[in-house]
Amino acid sequence: QQPVQSPQAVILREGEDAVINCSSSKALYSVHWYRQKHGEAPVFLMILLKGGEQKGHEKISASFNEKKQQSSLYLTASQLSYSGTYFCGTEIGKAGGTSYGKLTFGQGTILTVHP
Interface with other proteins (CB under 8 A) = 2, 30, 32, 34, 40-44, 47, 49, 87, 89, 91, 99-108
Partners of 108 in the β-ladder: none
Closer Cβ to other proteins, 48 or 75, answer by number: 48
Determine the residue type at 2. Answer: Q
Which lies closer to other proteins via its Cβ, residue 2 or residue 79? 2
3-state secondary structure 13-71: ECCCCEEEEEECCCCEEEEEEEEECCCCCCEEEEEEECCCCEEEECCEEEEEECCCCEE
When the beta carbons of 36 and 76 are compared against other proteins, the nearer one is 36
Produce one character per residue of 71-86: b if its CB has 16 or more CB atoms within 10 Å, e if not. bbbebeebeeebbbbb
Q: How far is the CB of 87 from other proteins (least distance, A)?
A: 5
Task: Please say which residue, 68 or 102, places its beta carbon nearer to other proteins.
Answer: 102
Q: Give least dist CB 14 to other proteins, A.
A: 26
The least distance separating other proteins from the CB of residue 19, rounded to whole angstroms, comes to 19
Cβ at position 53, least distance to other proteins in Å: 11
